[in-house]
């Protein structure tokens, strides 16, 4: 794997200053959207939401793994190969890239060099192709971009960022790279600092907040869960429909209103394992939770904010979450219960 970005020919088009994702997807000459990491936790739901909004053919899903997709264009794409990104952008006439391919927090601590190469190297490749081909770029940052030196309660939009994890280091570097490409080259870069994300559509990908997804699956299937964080570990969380909507709304926002760009604090709720377990018990009274603390993930969580201030996102592009803890819990349990019932029905032999 190389972390040297590919530079296409010197006569690429000037970069756009308005996100092409904001343009209606009608007519044959309108640019497409490319999603990298489309098989991941965010990517699965983002691709579906983008296609619902702009049309199936307008969104190209890509990942290192083959994607079973009958609804629109899809390809295997290794983002460490800048020439492959460039070919995909030219072939599909892409105007906006949602770059989601990354190594998440807990896995990044196990393989820090690989995390650096993927999280920074692939982003540089995407930014270089975007610079030459006139693409807008969304790439997510994280609450992991803060460190123990930042205020943990009410963490401001602009504050010290000195993370102590490789994941956090790559996220801070990514924010600065995106700002650099916007300021120096005019690339329309935008991003959000995601909190912990909870989804029913895709399995967790190796993050510190994975417990908040696993707990629902175990509650439905087994009625109990063993958590790797302390009961009182508070972190910001968000339900995936809100996270996906935030990405799309930011890319559609009027660029003249954006003072920050890379990247906006956003949040929806503050959750602890004990609080989440209590919310589940309102629907499944017999649910039990136990604790077996993972010191690595606990240390990561203890370095992150317990509540971030997302007033800049609310003011600059109208961010507003729709799901609180109660609404998210009810929806997660309903969807996973239906899926579990369907799996049991499919396994039962015919009468």
Active site residues: 167
In the DSSP assignment, the letter for residue 300 is: H
Beta-carbon neighbour count of residue 256 at 10 Å? 8
DSSP state of 336: H
Q: Which of 280, 288, 271 is nearest to 210 (CA)?
A: 271
CB 291 within 8 A of CB 225: no
CA distance 329 to 219: 11
Neighbours of 80 (CB within 10 A): 17
Nearest CA among 134, 100, 130, 132 for reference residue 118? 100
Report CA-CA distances (Å) from 9 to 16, 81, 103, 132, 260.
18, 16, 30, 8, 31
Q: How many CB atoms lie within 10 A of CB 22?
A: 16
Of 92, 97, 146, whose CA–CA distance to 122 is shortest? Answer: 97
Q: Give the residue carrying structure tokens 């930014």.
A: 127
Distance from C-alpha of 131 to C-alpha of 136, rounded to nearest angstrom: 9
Tokens standing for residue 55: 């049309």
Q: Smallest Cα–Cα separation from 126: which of 36, 61, 62?
A: 36
Helix (H) or strand (E) holding 122, with range, is helix 122-133
């Amino acid at each position: 794997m190389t972390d040297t970005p590919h530079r296409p020919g010197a006569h690429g088009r000037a970069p756009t200053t308005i996100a092409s994702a904001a343009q209606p997807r009608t007519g044959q000459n309108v640019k497409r959207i490319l999603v990298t990491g489309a098989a991941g936790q965010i990517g699965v739901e983002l691709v579906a939401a983008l296609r619902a909004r702009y049309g199936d053919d307008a969104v190209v899903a890509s990942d290192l793994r083959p994607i079973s997709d009958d609804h629109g264009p899809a390809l295997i794409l290794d983002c460490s190969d800048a020439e492959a990104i460039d070919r995909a952008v030219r072939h599909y006439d892409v105007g906006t890239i949602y770059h989601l391919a990354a190594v998440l927090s807990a896995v990044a601590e196990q393989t820090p060099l690989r995390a650096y190469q993927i999280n920074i190297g692939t982003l540089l490749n995407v930014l270089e192709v975007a610079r030459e081909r006139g693409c807008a770029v969304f790439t997510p940052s994280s609450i992991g971009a803060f460190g123990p030196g930042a205020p943990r309660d009410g963490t401001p939009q602009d504050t010290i960022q000195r993370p102590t994890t490789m994941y956090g280091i790559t996220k801070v570097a990514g924010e600065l790279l995106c700002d650099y490409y916007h300021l120096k080259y005019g690339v329309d870069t935008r991003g959000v600092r995601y909190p912990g994300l909870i989804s029913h559509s895709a399995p967790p990908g190796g993050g510190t907040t994975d417990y908040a997804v696993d707990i629902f699956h175990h509650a439905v299937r087994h009625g109990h869960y063993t958590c790797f964080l302390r009961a009182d570990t508070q972190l910001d969380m968000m339900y995936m429909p809100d996270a996906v909507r935030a990405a799309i709304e930011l890319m559609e926002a009027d660029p003249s209103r954006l003072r920050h760009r890379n990247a906006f604090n956003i949040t929806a709720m503050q959750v602890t394992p004990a609080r989440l377990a209590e919310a589940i018990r309102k629907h499944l009274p017999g649910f039990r939770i136990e604790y077996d603390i993972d010191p690595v993930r606990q240390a990561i969580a203890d370095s992150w904010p317990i509540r971030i201030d997302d007033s800049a996102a609310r003011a600059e592009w109208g961010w507003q979450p729709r799901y609180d803890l109660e609404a998210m819990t009810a929806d997660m349990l309903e969807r996973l219960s239906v899926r579990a019932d369907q799996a049991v029905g499919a396994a039962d032999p015919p009468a």
